[in-house]
Structure 1
Amino acid sequence: MSDRKTEIHLRVMRLLAENPHRSQRALARELGISLGGLNYCLRALVEKGWIKVENFSRSENKLRYAYLLTPRGVAGKARLTRGFLRRKRMEYEALKAEIDELLLDVEEGRP
C-alpha cells in the first residue's frame, strides 16, 4: 500500500475512533478527500476486517451508520501508527540535516 493510502487509512481510523457516528460527508470534508475516495477507503477497511459498519435508525426514520474499529482494526491502527511515526522521523532527520547544511552555507557565506 502506498504511503498516501496508508496515511489516509490511519487518519480515517483515528477520526472514527474519536467519533464512530461521523457521516461519510463529514469524514471526507475533514480529510480533504472526495466522498467517493472516502467510500473506497471505508470499503477497504471493512474488507480487511479493521472496521465494521452498524446501522441505526434516527427518530426521523432515516438510516445512519456507525463505523466501529474491530480488535483487528485497533491492532492495525497501532501498526500503521508505528510505521507512520518511523517514516516521519526519517523525514524529520533528513530535513533537519538539510537545514543544518543550509545554515552552515549561510554562516560561511557560500552561495
Structure 2
Amino acid sequence: MSERILDDETRYRLLRLLADDPSLSQRDLATEIGISVGKVNYCLRALLNKGYIKATNFKNNRHRAAYLYKLTPAGIRAKAQAASCFLERKQAEYERLEAELAELRREVRQASSGSDMES
C-alpha cells in the first residue's frame, strides 16, 4: 500500500522541497504538491521509516512546535534515484505527446487541403 501512495513522483517532490527548505510545514508541503495533509503525513512517516529524512522539533514563529525535516545521505541518494525515474517517465510522456501532436497536425493539414478541393 505505501508504494502506491509514495510513488516516485511524490517521493521526488517531497525530497526536493525538503532539500530546498527543511522547515516547510506539512500544510505547506501539501499545498506545493497538491495532495492532502494526511497524505503528506503518511509519506513523511514512510520517508522517516526508510531513513531518508530525520525530523527534529523546533519552535516556529507562532510559538508552536514544528519540525525540521533534513535529508539523510540515504535520502539524498533516494532523491537522485527518484529524479532519474521521474525524468525518464516524463521524457517518455513528452515523446508520446509529441508524436500525437504530429499526427494531429497531419490530420488538420489533410482536412484543410481536402476542404479546399471541395469548394
TM-score relative to the length of structure 2:
0.83
1:94–1:4 CA distance, 2 compared to 1 (3 A):
farther
Question: What is the CA deviation profile of residues 19-49 of structure 1, one whole-angstrom value per residue up to 9, with x for unaligned ones?
Answer: 1011111111222211111000000111111
Q: Which runs of 5+ in 2 are unaligned?
A: 115-119
Q: Which portions of structure 1, spanning 4 or more consecutive aligned residues, are displaced by more than 4 angstroms? A: 58-61
Shift of 1:106: 1.1
Alignment partners' CA distance in 1, 2:62 and 2:99: 58
Aligned to 2:32: 30
CA distance in 2, matches of 1:80, 1:53: 21
Bigger drift between 21-30 and 97-106 goes to 21-30
Higher Cα Rg: structure 1 or 2?
A: 2
1:13, distance to aligned residue in structure 2 (A)? 0.8
- Name the SS for the 1:16 alignment partner: helix
In the alignment, is residue 50 of structure 1 matched against residue 73 of structure 2? no
Instruction: Work out which structure has the larger RCO, using CA pairs closer than 8 Å and 6 or more positions apart in sequence.
Output: 2
**Unmatched 5+ residue regions in structure 1?**
none
User: 2:6, 2:43 within 8 Å by CA — same for their partners in 1?
Assistant: no
Q: 1:2 to 1:88 in 2, by over 3 A?
A: farther
CA contact (8 A) 2:25 2:67 kept: yes
Q: Quote the RMSD (CA, aligned, Å).
A: 2.1
Q: Do the aligned partners of residues 80 and 59 (structure 1) sit closer, same or farther apart at CA in structure 2, a change above 3 Å counting?
A: closer
Residue identity matched to 1:63: A
Give the letter aligned to residue 10 of structure 2: I
Relative to the length of structure 1, the TM-score reads: 0.88
